[in-house]
Amino acid sequence: DQQVKQNSPSLSVQEGRISILNCDYTNSMFDYFLWYKKYPAEGPTFLISISSIKDKNEDGRFTVFLNKSAKHLSLHIVPSQPGDSAVYFCAASAISSGSARQLTFGSGTQLTVLP
Amino acid sequence: KAGVTQTPRYLIKTRGQQVTLSCSPISGHRSVSWYQQTPGQGLQFLFEYFSETQRNKGNFPGRFSGRQFSNSRSEMNVSTLELGDSALYLCASSLARGRGDEQYFGPGTRLTVT
């Protein structure tokens, strides 16, 4: 049972345009959401996060939107650059037993920004 | 500050063998988590260690085990390897301050089981 779903395995966007990556979740206990970027042969790199008490968080070209009622979040990249081409993972977190946090990841979306 | 390091970077093993992977977290980070990444499956949580204690465990068989040392370095062991264990194994460390602290990943160990 996938608790975090990224239904688009790939996305292609022209340089300079907006990239929108989507993520859906099913577990209502999730209260913190993160996006990671991964290049080949490297580990995932933290990009941006959002707490469930907010509906938007912005950091430079990256904005994450959270719609709790729809259990949906999205990552907007504006403007998109060729260097943004990577696999993007959505992750969600909840306090589990013993105050430990465990990240649950989606399966990733390969973003390709075309020059 | 040095990042998370993992050794070895690549491993080839035969079915039935066992393997030990190592992870050195960022200095000052007390939490180490392990993930398995396979094509199309994303990252699947294996376990988390904090102050030498396993705090959290994912849904993996008992063949997967780990430990953490007093210097926060962690090892992961897989016994009786199966072909399906071929994957990228990622280690991540964090300050583990509680709500919302980000995890920082190492480059991973690519394990191939033949």
Span A45-55, average pLDDT: 93
Nearest CA in chain B to A90: B42
Q: Do B103 and A46 touch (CB under 8 A)?
A: yes
Confidence of residue A19 (pLDDT cuts 50, 70, 90): very high
What six digits make up the tokens of B26? 């960022």
* Per-residue pLDDT at A102 exceeds 70: yes
Partnered with residue B9 across adjacent β-strands are: none
Q: Do B105 and A43 touch (CB under 8 A)?
A: yes
Chain A residues inside the 8 Å CB shell of B104: 46
pLDDT digit string, tens, across residues B42-78: 789 999 999 899 988 889 999 999 999 999 999 999 9
Angle subtended at Cα B18 by Cα B13 and Cα B20, rounded to the nearest 5 degrees = 95
CB-defined contacts A:B, below 8 A = 72
Confidence of residue B102 (pLDDT cuts 50, 70, 90): confident
Span A75-97, average pLDDT: 91
Span B94-114, average pLDDT: 83
Q: Please tell me the distance in Å from B76's CA to the nearest CA on chain A.
A: 17
Percent over 90 (pLDDT), chain B? 73
Nearest CA in chain A to B49: A100
* Per-residue pLDDT at B96 exceeds 90: no
- Measured CA distances, A48 to A8, B15, B67, B83 (Å): 20, 39, 30, 35
Model pLDDT, residue B84:
94
pLDDT digit string, tens, across residues B18-30: 999 999 999 999 8
Chain A residues inside the 8 Å CB shell of B108: 42-43
Model pLDDT, residue A69:
96
**Interchain CB contact of A43 with B (< 8 Å):** yes
Note whether B68 and B52 are within 8 A (CB): yes
Note whether A32 and A52 are within 8 A (CB): yes
Percent over 70 (pLDDT), chain B? 93
**Interchain CB contact of B28 with A (< 8 Å):** no
Q: Do B43 and A45 touch (CB under 8 A)?
A: no
* Per-residue pLDDT at A40 exceeds 90: no
Q: Please tell me the distance in Å from B15's CA to the nearest CA on chain A.
A: 24
User: What does the mean pLDDT of chain B come to?
Assistant: 91
Note whether A79 and A14 are within 8 A (CB): no
Model pLDDT, residue A64:
98
Q: Which of B43, B98, B103 sits opposite A99 (nearest CB)?
A: B98
Tally of CB atoms within 10 A around A58: 12
Q: Do A106 and B42 touch (CB under 8 A)?
A: yes
Span A69-73, average pLDDT: 97
Confidence of residue B93 (pLDDT cuts 50, 70, 90): very high
Side-chain-side CA neighbours of B102 within 13 Å: the count stands at 13
